[in-house]
Structure 1
């Protein structure tokens, strides 16, 4: 039995803009994990005990993965297994049956409510990593390989997204991330190109740079108590983008400038610059929200940020509209920030950056 632990993620800066080729974001892996346990087995099976799915039989027919359970919640895993097995086949590696069990601690343990920590991306990375561990004696496995296979599987299943969450779950820590050109990947996949060739190519615009946070910086995370509806928020922004409006272009520039400034703050250990850039990115998102009626900041997120600004700087994380907000603060102010959040009905989460994991 081999066990792989993969972290969830939180967006720090650059949301929405990162969906455009060449526009950067900062994302951080967090110490809530997806765990995958894999072992050689006589029969190929898949188990997700938290979903009540145990020993689901899995087989291959004409390059397709067939599961005995037709459950939409298995789509990400099903497609990921197919991508990895296609890759192994192209590398002339004979695959053998395995049992795979996947468990999660990304959501609330009691209620099952989602915090917005990127569970689907983390699951995909965990499945890719766990299967590849079975063939390490015959195959060099790198973070780049894991990321690209996971990104292909995630994109094939979801059909959109920046895959910044996939990068965070793959590399860990703080990342300065620029997404690949999604239309390029879609075109390559439609051409039915060999996956082994695709992962060897340079992906247009893709950049992944690991960062070190300023030494005094403390990341605080608060949960609003409601889940975000990411897809519906993105749909509201699509018309603005399609019109090539000046306001959308202005948002992209402001987001890029805020992220670039934050990167400089990280590299120069400059807390003030990092906090100022977090606030600048929030302002860009608020302007976008006003233009589209997307309600990126709910009443609870607005309150979370208002309190965070007393002790440092705060903003929404990810698509907004619910889920978590974040704050940059210092150790001496963290307890007071948590107390103020609690008094306002915001739930402080015991979450830290995941800089090291197996």
Structure 2
């Protein structure tokens, strides 16, 4: 009996959150390799289980397992064959002490399920196909998120993601078959980025839950053309700074984006995220909230080991936990 095991990680926004909900806007999103795991094998009958729930199901509709079941339906439609009976087990809730990290999402589960089934039937999927299948699944279920989280998780890299018109694709789902829809250009762009400057990428976990869906909707309602224009401008500045090792432009771009988020809604920078941001003072560091804000995680880029150590100590003193740290090395372009 064939057994397979696959993983997917999480994601955090460097820049462009909220704005990227508008089609055509760009966000920079970083892969976080804190993983969920799926194990699958052929079986006598189909059994789906997740450590999120205290029971297992088959493919009979269950509201708690709806996302997993819909992902299975999508993969089956894509593969063009009825899947044999199998067992699928998902573990890793991306949380601690019952508190979510805020780095994962429904997108993580969708990508993970599709990856596991592809491995089970020996079907190679490109990152782009994996992204489209997961996005199709969520859009079909009524999700109108930017799909940037799925793009990052599917590619497992730091990416620049330009969002597409999800409403247009949602309408086409009702009139087109999956194969023809996958062949279309949806209008998104996904560019894998390799930072070229020496820095520590740090994730601070506030242990506070993120702001509610209602508060997110309230913040979204305040987005105007000025916010979109200024955010896009500074996302592009930040992207170029990453690619050209321009530390000062990188810090300036991220600072402006942080200011724009703070100006958008007072709900984004709550006390712990303010503390996470203020800990940069006097250090060669730039920090900001990440994602919807109001809690969960913030990020920082530190440009010296001494600054990293001091920042971490300041965070710890305020009850902010270092969740993840990654060292970027300087990349020099070869010159003739």
TM-score (normalised: structure 2)? 0.91
Q: 1:94 to 1:235 in 2, by over 3 A?
A: closer
Match of 1:308 in 2: 280
* 1:324 correspondence with 2:306: no
Note the 1:1-358 alignment, pairs <5 A: 1-54=3-56, 56-58=57-59, 66-67=60-61, 70=62, 72-89=63-80, 93-104=81-92, 106-108=94-96, 111-136=97-122, 139-191=123-175, 193-204=176-187, 206-241=188-223, 248-289=224-265, 294-311=266-283, 312-330=285-303, 331-352=305-326
Is contact 2:51–2:92 with CA below 8 Å preserved after alignment? no
Q: 1:266 to 1:280 in 2, by over 3 A?
A: same
Distance apart, 1:134 and its partner CA: 2.5
Helix, strand or coil: the match of 1:10? strand
Distance apart, 1:202 and its partner CA: 0.6
Is contact 1:30–1:352 with CA below 8 Å preserved after alignment? no
Helix, strand or coil: the match of 2:40? strand
Please identify, of 122-131 and 341-350, the stretch whose mean Cα deviation from structure 2 is larger: 341-350
* Structure 1 portions without partners, runs of 5+: 59-65, 242-247
Is contact 1:29–1:174 with CA below 8 Å preserved after alignment? yes
Q: Whose helix proportion is higher, 1 or 2?
A: 1
Please identify, of 123-132 and 221-230, the stretch whose mean Cα deviation from structure 2 is larger: 221-230
Distance apart, 1:129 and its partner CA: 0.8
Helix, strand or coil: the match of 2:192? strand
Distance apart, 1:105 and its partner CA: 5.0
Distance apart, 1:217 and its partner CA: 1.6
Match of 1:245 in 2: none
Q: What RMSD, in angstroms, separates the aligned Cα atoms of the two structures?
A: 1.9
Q: 1:183 to 1:309 in 2, by over 3 A?
A: farther
Helix, strand or coil: the match of 1:32? strand
Distance apart, 1:353 and its partner CA: 8.4
Q: 1:45 to 1:203 in 2, by over 3 A?
A: same
Distance apart, 1:50 and its partner CA: 4.7
Q: How many correspondences in the alignment?
A: 324
Question: Structure 1, residues 32-64: CA drift from partner, whole Å, max 9, x if none?
Answer: 01111111112111111353234x222xxxxxx
Match of 1:62 in 2: none
Query: 1: CA distance between counterparts of 2:178 and 2:112?
Result: 19
